[in-house]
């Protein structure tokens, strides 16, 4: 039996026996905790395996066959579907158009969303209404948005051409979605209208989390509005901006709904994305093996970007958050 020595008023040391520590209880409690965690985790893992992992593995398996979707895959093609990707001008064009959409989203849409967030973070009359107004397009489904803008940008009879004609700018009107030169910029305008409100709300949430005292201290030190934005707002908004960039890039890589409803990839593949090409080959040409190879390529591109983000961006933000938590203890 172990004992503990207690010093009483500097006169004597008394040995008081300690209560015996139960051996079985911590082990039993630990087993119950593990069993509880296991019971709550298994259903989610089963669903994830059935709805995510199994289709991915099956798509990977099918991508090694020349299969039309009927019966079971039997015509083994090896890596022919993947080598075909490197020689397919449509798929290579998809990569180029995807890169253009990513650059436009990061270079135009996100700065515009940030500017609107900074503006609506000020004390303006009716700012709650403007926030709701700018966020409302994101609530609409992609199909409704696509149908709406197909009507707006309809050649000659669309609302866009009528408005331009009413102000004497008929020459700026045109075929819009039917013009090979203008279809991608027009599609990006629709994307920007649809999604910038979401990123604006992300930035607004980040701006409202910045302590007002920091701006007041910078103002007292003589910093201008631009200097406060550059040296106070942007650094503290960094994690939100990086998350917004991540979501924007992944969304551009996987873009499908808006393109399918508005242009279906036309004219002559000039607005086609990887997802649209995959659907075209899989459900219109019945080349399921090649379409599966495109889906695996999309997955790998998204995975590489996500891992790079995890490695170079997310870990730094996480380490900073953990450091702040330790410092506040």
pLDDT per residue as tens digits for the range 219-258: 998 889 899 999 999 999 988 999 999 999 999 999 999 9
Banded model confidence at residue 278, pLDDT cuts 50, 70, 90? very high
Residue 41 and residue 115 in one domain: no
Distances (CA, A) of 92 to 48, 59, 89: 32, 21, 5
The predicted structure's pLDDT at residue 20: 53
Check pLDDT > 70 for residue 4.
no
pLDDT per residue as tens digits for the range 196-221: 999 999 999 999 999 989 988 999 98
Q: What percent of the chain stands above pLDDT 70? A: 88
Strand partners of residue 13: 7
Radius of gyration of the chain (CA): 29
Contact 239, 318 (CB under 8 A): no
Residue 37 and residue 159 in one domain: no
Residue 112 and residue 47 in one domain: no
Q: What does pLDDT average to over the chain? A: 86
Q: Is residue 63 part of a domain?
A: no
User: Could you write out the three-class secondary structure of 182-204?
Assistant: CHHHHHHHHHHHHHHHHHHHHHH
| CA dist., res. 259 & res. 261, Å (int) | 6
Structural domain span for residue 295: 89-328
Give the mean model confidence (pLDDT) for residues 110-119: 94
Residue 168 and residue 217 in one domain: yes
Check pLDDT > 90 for residue 297.
yes
Check pLDDT > 90 for residue 71.
no
The candidate with the shortest Cα–Cα distance to 288, out of 58, 41, 99, is: 58
Residue 48 and residue 104 in one domain: no
Contact 264, 276 (CB under 8 A): yes
84-89-90 Cα angle (round to 5): 95
**Among candidate residues 57, 72, 107, the one where a domain is terminated:** 57
The predicted structure's pLDDT at residue 318: 62
Read off the CATH number of the domain in which 158 is found: 1.10.3720.10
Banded model confidence at residue 166, pLDDT cuts 50, 70, 90? confident
| Number of domains present in the structure of the chain | 2
- What are φ and ψ of residue 271, in 5° steps? -125, 15
């Amino acid at each position: 039996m172990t004992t503990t020595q207690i010093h009483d008023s500097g006169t004597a040391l008394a040995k008081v026996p300690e209560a015996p520590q139960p051996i079985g209880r911590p082990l039993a409690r630990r087993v119950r905790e593990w069993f509880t965690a296991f019971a709550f985790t298994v259903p989610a893992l089963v669903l994830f395996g059935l709805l995510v992992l199994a289709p991915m593995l099956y798509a990977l398996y099918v991508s090694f066959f020349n299969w039309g979707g009927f019966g079971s895959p039997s015509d083994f093609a090896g890596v022919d579907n993947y080598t075909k990707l490197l020689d397919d001008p449509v798929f290579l064009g998809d990569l180029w158009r995807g890169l253009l959409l990513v650059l436009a989203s990061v270079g135009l849409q996100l700065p515009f969303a940030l500017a609107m967030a900074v503006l609506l973070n000020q004390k303006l009359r009716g700012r709650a209404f403007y926030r709701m107004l700018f966020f409302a397009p994101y609530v609409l489904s992609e199909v409704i948005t696509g149908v709406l803008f197909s009507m707006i940008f309809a050649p000659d009879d669309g609302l866009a051409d009528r408005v331009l004609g009413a102000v004497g700018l008929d020459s700026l009107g045109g075929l819009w979605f039917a013009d090979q030169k203008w279809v991608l910029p027009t599609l990006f305008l629709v994307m920007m209208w649809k999604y910038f409100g979401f990123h604006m709300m992300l930035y607004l949430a980040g701006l409202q989390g910045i302590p007002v005292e920091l701006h007041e201290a910078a103002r007292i030190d003589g910093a201008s509005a631009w200097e406060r934005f550059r040296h106070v707002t942007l650094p503290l908004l960094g994690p939100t901006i990086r998350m917004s960039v991540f979501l924007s890039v992944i969304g551009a890589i996987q873009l499908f709904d808006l393109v399918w409803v508005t242009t279906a990839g036309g004219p002559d593949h000039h607005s086609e994305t990887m997802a649209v090409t995959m659907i075209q080959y899989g459900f219109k040409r019945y080349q399921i093996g090649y379409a599966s190879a495109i889906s695996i390529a999309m997955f790998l591109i998204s995975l590489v970007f996500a891992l790079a983000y995890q490695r170079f961006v997310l870990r730094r933000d996480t380490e900073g958050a953990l450091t702040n938590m330790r410092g506040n203890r």
